[in-house]
């Protein structure tokens, strides 16, 4: 895997709460935004946005399953400014609401 892409993935994985925008990350690895997006797609099979969203959803699932934090807190800790956006993305990603997901683990 390209070392610049490895760096970008590590940077995204380090803190899902920090919304890293493609142009800023591309500048860090000295590529154009378009070129970094092409690398992401070619080497991971998904777009930058999809990859970033999936990382944030994995973090959200972990928080919902293991903590008593509110949905609003989980949304904030995974980089969402809007609870509504978080809930929409969570349902799209998991096929259920965050509350229903949490109930599977006996938390709620």
d(CA 72, CA 53) in angstroms, rounded, equals 17
User: In angstroms, how far is the first alpha carbon of the chain from the final one?
Assistant: 41
Residue 16 pLDDT exceeds 80? no
Length of the chain (residues): 108
Query: Given this model, what pLDDT does residue 108 score?
Result: 62
Topology (CATH level 3) of domain 3-103 = Arc Repressor Mutant, subunit A (1.10.10)
Per-residue pLDDT tens for 63-82? Answer: 999 999 999 999 999 989 99
pTM: 0.83
- Let me know: does 53 contact 94? Beta carbons within 8 Å: no
In eight-state DSSP terms, residue 18 is S
């Amino acid at each position: 895997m390209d070392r610049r892409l490895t760096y970008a993935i590590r940077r995204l994985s380090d803190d899902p709460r920090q919304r890293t925008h493609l142009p800023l990350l591309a500048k860090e690895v000295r590529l154009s935004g378009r070129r970094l997006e092409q690398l992401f797609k070619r080497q991971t099979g998904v777009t930058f946005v999809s990859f970033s969203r999936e990382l944030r959803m994995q973090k959200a699932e972990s928080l919902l399953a293991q903590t008593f934090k509110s949905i609003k807190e989980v949304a904030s800790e995974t980089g969402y400014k809007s609870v509504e956006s978080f809930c929409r993305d969570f349902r799209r990603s998991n096929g259920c609401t965050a509350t229903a997901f949490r109930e599977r683990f006996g938390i709620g």
